[in-house]
C-alpha cells in the first residue's frame, strides 16, 4: 500500500479490511500499514473496572463529552517524545471527524480537561487509536465513557490494536487475525450511531451499565 495516496477514504477502506495506519516518527512522509497476526479487543460490555477506580469515579463529579474538541485531543495524544501520530495522520483524522467517522471523548472536572481518546467508528465497530491523561486515571475515565457509549448504541466490536499490560487490566483479550476479521465482518455492516448519548456524567447509572 506504499504507493497509494493517503486520504480519508483510503483510511476507511483499510479499517474495513482490518488494516490501520501508523506514522513514522523519523519521517513524516512515511505511512506504515499494520495488519498484525494478533489483535487486541475489549469485548463490548465487559470493561473491567477495579474497585478503587469505581470508588474514585463515585467520589468525583466528572463529565464526558463527545467531539467537543477533537483536534485538541489528537494533538494531546501526539504530544510525546516519540509518536506515530504524525502530521499527515492528524490532518486526515481531523477530516474524518468532520465527515462523522472519527470521534473524540473528553473527560472534564468542571472546565479542566483530565484526559481523552479518539478513534474511528464504522458501522458497529469502533477502532480506538490513542488516549492520554492530564491527571491520574484520565485515560481510564475516557475508556469508561467510551464503553458506555458503545453499550448504549449496540456496538459489537472495540478494537484496541495491540495488547498492553494497561489494556489487559481493563479486560482486553487477543484474537487471531482470522477471528478478528470474522468479528469485524459482523460489525462493520451493522448500523450504529456513536454520538447518541443523553448521559454525560460518570455516575452510578453509567458504571452499572458497563461494570464487569
What DSSP assignment string belongs to 172-202?
A: -EEEEHHHHHHHHHHHHTS---TT--S--B-
Task: Please tell me the distance from the alpha carbon of residue 73 to that of residue 181, in angstroms, as a whole number.
Answer: 29
Q: What pLDDT, on the 0 to 100 scale, is given for residue 123?
A: 97
Which pTM value belongs to this model?
0.92
Q: What pLDDT, on the 0 to 100 scale, is given for residue 199?
A: 58
3-state secondary structure of 144: helix
CA angle 31, 35, 37 (to 5 degrees): 145
What does DSSP assign to residue 47? -
Helix H or strand E encompassing 155: none
Q: What pLDDT, on the 0 to 100 scale, is given for residue 197?
A: 64
Residues of the chain with pLDDT under 50: 212
Q: Three cell numbers at 1?
A: 500500500
- The residues, ordered by sequence, that sit 6+ positions from 92 with a Cβ below 8 Å of its Cβ are 6, 7, 8, 11
Helix H or strand E encompassing 97: helix 87-98
Q: What pLDDT, on the 0 to 100 scale, is given for residue 3?
A: 55
Amino acid at each position: 500500500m506504499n504507493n497509494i495516496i493517503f486520504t480519508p477514504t483510503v483510511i476507511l477502506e483499510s479499517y474495513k479490511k482490518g488494516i490501520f495506519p501508523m506514522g513514522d516518527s523519523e519521517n513524516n512522509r512515511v505511512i506504515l500499514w499494520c495488519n498484525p497476526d494478533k489483535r487486541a479487543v475489549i469485548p463490548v460490555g465487559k470493561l473491567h473496572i477495579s474497585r478503587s477506580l469505581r470508588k474514585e469515579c463515585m467520589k468525583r463529579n466528572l463529565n464526558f463529552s463527545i467531539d467537543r474538541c477533537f483536534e485538541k485531543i489528537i494533538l494531546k495524544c501526539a504530544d510525546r517524545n516519540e509518536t506515530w501520530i504524525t502530521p499527515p495522520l492528524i490532518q486526515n483524522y481531523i477530516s474524518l471527524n468532520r465527515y462523522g467517522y472519527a470521534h473524540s471523548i473528553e473527560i472534564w472536572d468542571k472546565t479542566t480537561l483530565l484526559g481523552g481518546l479518539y478513534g474511528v467508528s464504522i458501522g458497529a465497530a469502533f477502532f480506538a487509536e490513542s488516549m492520554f491523561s492530564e491527571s491520574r486515571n484520565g485515560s481510564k475515565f475516557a475508556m469508561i465513557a467510551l464503553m458506555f457509549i458503545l453499550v448504549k448504541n449496540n456496538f459489537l466490536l472495540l478494537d484496541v490494536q495491540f495488547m498492553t499490560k494497561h489494556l489487559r487490566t481493563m479486560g482486553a483479550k487477543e484474537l487471531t487475525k482470522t477471528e478478528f476479521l470474522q468479528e469485524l465482518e459482523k460489525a462493520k455492516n451493522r448500523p450504529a450511531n456513536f454520538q447518541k448519548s443523553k448521559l454525560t456524567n460518570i455516575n452510578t447509572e453509567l458504571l452499572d451499565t458497563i461494570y464487569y
